[in-house]
Structure 1
Amino acid sequence: MISQLPDHLICHILSLLSTKEAVKTSVLSTRWRQLWLWLPSLELKSRDFSDFNNFMSFGYRFFDSNRVSCKHKLKLTIHRNEDGVKDAYYLTPWLKAAVKHKIQHLHVHSYSYADHRFHKMPQRLYTCHTLVCLKLFQVTLDDAGFVFLPKLKTMHLEYVKFPNEATFETLVLCCPVLEDLKIFVANDDGKVFRVHSLSLKRLTFERVSSFFSDSAGVVIDAPRLCFLKINDNVSKRFIVDSLDSNTILDMSLVFGLEEVDKTNWDEFDDGAVLGEFDESIVSPMRSSISDFLSGISRVSDMSICARTFKSFQWLPNFLESFPNLKSLSLVCIAKNVYDDYINEINFSSSSVPECLLSSLEFVEIIAPIYYAAVVELINYLLKNEFFVDI
């Protein structure tokens, strides 16, 4: 009975199966032999094949440029191969065919190693007018010439290599309806990442590395931003254009002071207190920190990691920059000696932050209760007649 259905209905049924199961139906009869090739979506993993050459042969069959069916979703997971195939030349015709056939969702995950080059995405990708969602992992992007992605709403770029700063900036600028952007920066990437978007609503930026760069920075100009998460222990410069009061902010920043701290850690014992840095090193960073606080001062919902206090110095003084704050989450889980910043928070400030007296409605503390500073923080909040959720 199913075989009597028209092709497009059978293809719809097959699209509800995994790619592996859909391909197996080709042995049912002559009627079914070619139907899987017309599927609108495909999830392809190189490890599902006996060798890499079989994986490529399968891909060439599916991405036949003469086939006119639309390809709505493509997810490629490419693992390191042991068959001597080091160049990703096969990806160019595959992705060009996907763009030609009006791809809407494209995910490319390439698990590269030190002895393998990252797979390069074709420039044709920059002008895919049907693309709605783009997720790339460990690939290289070509130098951006002309870019126009008029329907792209979601873009996740994890450990992607950019030839220059202008390529990333142009890529974001030329997505007029982009709403969700996620960036995980490679360990050795010290670029300035500039995010300029009139449509962006959610932004996640992560740059965590043991390598430090004086040139690394972040610039954010997105007036419609509703959610911003930054986890960065490398960048020393942050410029954020005024966030709206409804923006949810989640941050873990050190403004480059972690590098200074690790360099001089042996000079202090375990009781080292906040602020024992060389003033000549810290002073140039004060204006950068001040400008950043000015840009985020209107937010009312914020989650911050304890390591951030190493940069902001004292929690009460930090909270004075947020007169409209309504909800605050403090994450103070120490993983090693460098993350044990909760013991260094200073509550000696004589003035009480305005938000604590007026706007703040909820405080959540995620921390081991045995830290003396946690108890001191709770006492500080209770002293100022504030309810605490622990």
Structure 2
Amino acid sequence: MGEAGRKRGRAKGSRKRKRDGDWISDLPESLLCKVLLNLPTKDVVRTSVLSKRWKNIWKCVPGLDLSGEDIKMYYIYVRFVNRFLKFNRKYHIESFKLSYPGDGNCEPELDLMKRWITTVIQLKVKNLEFFDYSWANGTFDIPPSIYTCNSLVYLKLSTVTMSTVKSVSLPSLRVLKLSAVKFADHLDFETLISGCTALETLVISYFDRVEVLRVCSQSLLSFTHVAHKRYFTHVGHKRLAEEDLSIVIDAPRLEYLKLSDHQTASFIIKNSGSLVAVDINIVFNLSFGLDPRDLPKRSMIRNFLVGISCVKNMIISSITLEVIYDYLRCEPLPLFRNLSFLRVKFYNYSLKMLPTFLESCPNLISLVMGSTKKHNMKEISLFSRPQGFLPSLEYVEIKVPLKGVVVEIMKLVGYFLEKSTILKKLTLCLDDSRKTGETFIRKELLTIPRISTSCQVLVL
């Protein structure tokens, strides 16, 4: 067969694959490797049985994803990983995801994983994830070579211990996620952050408590902090109580801030002029309410509220609103002049503080209220005094996944219909258990006066 015949044969085969829906096999090998890089390694290897074209493509995928495997699969992969890393000695590794499912007591296994991590760092890995799911969480020491990996762009670590920091140079790191990670002290954490000169996203969850957690970065755009549920911790030989804990954020380019923490007593935000969106679920460790005589606490809350007052989008918990309501008895709230979207997450249904907060949002356009959790409560505590009008509010959505509070829900709906002068749409989202009372709710809606003549009310 001549060259022309072979070309016609390849073209015919290509047309047949397209006719059969197999467009992927016609993609360039480099693009196929990019696609396979997003799959677990065991699925990548399975593609070798698809056809001759696919037989060896998996060997060229510049990454491994061995996360989420059980201990039996771990032992199967040991030889495979060794061979893969040896095969790729001359190449760069894009991604390496690994989890350890053992009991944490096998030194050869731990040493092997450390060697793997060290090897991929030498191979200029860009994305690195490691999870220690063993029974001895937090005992795995990350090799110190990770602090000077110039190629690293994305790093995610869970339940590990960081080696003592001497110097850090991570000029390419843009995303850092730490979950239940232990440091020798808070200075090691601060040194790590200062060495990430291009860091844009920082996520800290279930962090080992330190007296002061400082997040200082000139490049950071997004910061998320989710607190550990423990009320006490140890730093050296010192036992830290909740009132000792403080978080200081100094990131002048920060645009997004999420705080979910009921133990930390003090939150200090510096240089917050770039903030656009916040997600706040904090109580400043005020288990028994704010003491008006506690002037340092009042000053800290005032500065925090001023620090977030420039945002355009806000998600806030009802628990945090209750703290703000207590604060309001002592001092006036700052105005949230830029706030156009507000979502209120309910963990209980005391709404007496909501109208007062809305009065501090003179340009609010959209409000979403509700919870995705089921609640079985007998009443909703509503407003105790006349409230002012809502001159800018255009859209309200109320999600109601609870039982036994139909009358109170209608009071809430009535408040928005009677106070929102330019309201365009109010949407009441009912869960399945509430559907049976939909007819009653629709009848009640007809009896509520509306100050906005163009308002549309939807019941879903």
Counterpart secondary structure, 1:71: coil
2:401 paired residue number: none
- Flag the 1:16–1:325 CA change in 2: closer, same or farther, 3 A: closer
Higher deviation after alignment, 18-27 or 127-136: 18-27
1:226, CA displacement in angstroms? Answer: 1.4
Rounded to whole Å, the distance in 1 between the matches of 2:322 and 2:246 is: 18
Letter in 2 for 1:40: P
Q: Kindly provide the CA deviation profile for residues 256-312 of structure 1, in whole angstroms up to 9, marking residues without a partner as x.
A: 113xx3xxxxxxxxxxxxx4x6666x5542222122122222223211101113322
Q: Kindly provide the CA deviation profile for residues 308-362 of structure 1, in whole angstroms up to 9, marking residues without a partner as x.
A: 133223597798313414224343433xxxxx3x42734796x984533xx2222
1:216 paired residue number: 245
Rounded to whole Å, the distance in 2 between the matches of 1:226 and 1:61 is: 44
Q: Superposition pairs for residues 272-351 of structure 1, below 5 Å?
A: 275=289, 282-314=294-326, 320-334=333-347, 340=348, 342-343=349-350, 345-346=352-353
The answer to whether the Cα contact below 8 Å between 1:306 and 1:330 also exists between their aligned partners in 2 is no
Pair 1:364-2:404 in alignment:
no
2:178 paired residue number: 157
The answer to whether the Cα contact below 8 Å between 1:180 and 1:201 also exists between their aligned partners in 2 is yes
2:216 paired residue number: 196
1:142, CA displacement in angstroms? Answer: 1.0
- Flag the 1:36–1:169 CA change in 2: closer, same or farther, 3 A: same
Among 369, 383, 390, the residue aligned to 2:419: 383
Letter in 2 for 1:69: Y
Rounded to whole Å, the distance in 2 between the matches of 1:325 and 1:111 is: 44
1:129 paired residue number: 150
The answer to whether the Cα contact below 8 Å between 2:71 and 2:101 also exists between their aligned partners in 1 is no
Q: Kindly provide the CA deviation profile for residues 178-226 of structure 1, in whole angstroms up to 9, marking residues without a partner as x.
A: 111111024x624422111111111111114141433322111111111
Counterpart secondary structure, 1:203: strand
Letter in 2 for 1:223: P
Rounded to whole Å, the distance in 1 between the matches of 2:361 and 2:184 is: 44
- Flag the 1:323–1:35 CA change in 2: closer, same or farther, 3 A: closer
Letter in 2 for 1:205: H
Rounded to whole Å, the distance in 1 between the matches of 2:107 and 2:75 is: 8
The answer to whether the Cα contact below 8 Å between 1:230 and 1:252 also exists between their aligned partners in 2 is yes
Unaligned 5+ runs, structure 1: 2-8, 262-274, 335-339
Letter in 1 for 2:126: Q
1:229 paired residue number: 258
Rounded to whole Å, the distance in 2 between the matches of 1:348 and 1:26 is: 62
- Flag the 1:379–1:287 CA change in 2: closer, same or farther, 3 A: farther
Among 356, 360, 373, the residue aligned to 2:382: 373
Counterpart secondary structure, 1:88: helix
Which one scores higher on RCO, CA 8 angstroms, separation ≥ 6? Answer: 1
TM-score scaled by structure 1?
0.77
Q: Kindly provide the CA deviation profile for residues 40-93 of structure 1, in whole angstroms up to 9, marking residues without a partner as x.
A: 111114735636544444333333398222111111122234984586222222
The answer to whether the Cα contact below 8 Å between 1:104 and 1:130 also exists between their aligned partners in 2 is yes
Rounded to whole Å, the distance in 1 between the matches of 2:29 and 2:366 is: 54
The answer to whether the Cα contact below 8 Å between 2:310 and 2:339 also exists between their aligned partners in 1 is no
Rounded to whole Å, the distance in 2 between the matches of 1:83 and 1:142 is: 19
Q: Superposition pairs for residues 36-185 of structure 1, below 5 Å?
A: 39-45=61-67, 47=69, 50=72, 52-64=74-86, 67-81=89-103, 84=106, 88-113=110-135, 115-185=136-206
Rounded to whole Å, the distance in 1 between the matches of 2:335 and 2:49 is: 65
2:282 paired residue number: 253
2:272 paired residue number: 243
- Flag the 1:163–1:353 CA change in 2: closer, same or farther, 3 A: same
Among 353, 361, 364, the residue aligned to 1:355: 361
Which of 1 and 2 has greater Rg?
A: 2
Rounded to whole Å, the distance in 2 between the matches of 1:124 and 1:65 is: 22
- Flag the 1:142–1:384 CA change in 2: closer, same or farther, 3 A: same
The answer to whether the Cα contact below 8 Å between 1:64 and 1:97 also exists between their aligned partners in 2 is no
Q: Superposition pairs for residues 3-42 of structure 1, below 5 Å?
A: 13=32, 16-17=35-36, 18=39, 19-23=41-45, 39-42=61-64
Letter in 1 for 2:419: K
Q: Kindly provide the CA deviation profile for residues 96-127 of structure 1, in whole angstroms up to 9, marking residues without a partner as x.
A: 111111101111122133x4543111110011
Unaligned 5+ runs, structure 2: 1-9, 11-27, 233-241, 384-407, 428-460
- Flag the 1:255–1:386 CA change in 2: closer, same or farther, 3 A: farther
Letter in 1 for 2:335: F
TM-score scaled by structure 2?
0.66
2:439 paired residue number: none
Q: CA RMSD in A?
A: 3.8
Rounded to whole Å, the distance in 2 between the matches of 1:352 and 1:85 is: 58
The answer to whether the Cα contact below 8 Å between 2:336 and 2:360 also exists between their aligned partners in 1 is yes
Rounded to whole Å, the distance in 1 between the matches of 2:341 and 2:47 is: 54
Counterpart secondary structure, 1:372: coil
- Flag the 1:292–1:83 CA change in 2: closer, same or farther, 3 A: closer
The answer to whether the Cα contact below 8 Å between 2:315 and 2:343 also exists between their aligned partners in 1 is yes
- Flag the 1:181–1:172 CA change in 2: closer, same or farther, 3 A: same
- Flag the 1:146–1:389 CA change in 2: closer, same or farther, 3 A: farther
Letter in 1 for 2:298: R
Rounded to whole Å, the distance in 1 between the matches of 2:153 and 2:182 is: 22
Rounded to whole Å, the distance in 2 between the matches of 1:245 and 1:25 is: 47
Rounded to whole Å, the distance in 2 between the matches of 1:50 and 1:307 is: 45
Rounded to whole Å, the distance in 1 between the matches of 2:62 and 2:71 is: 21
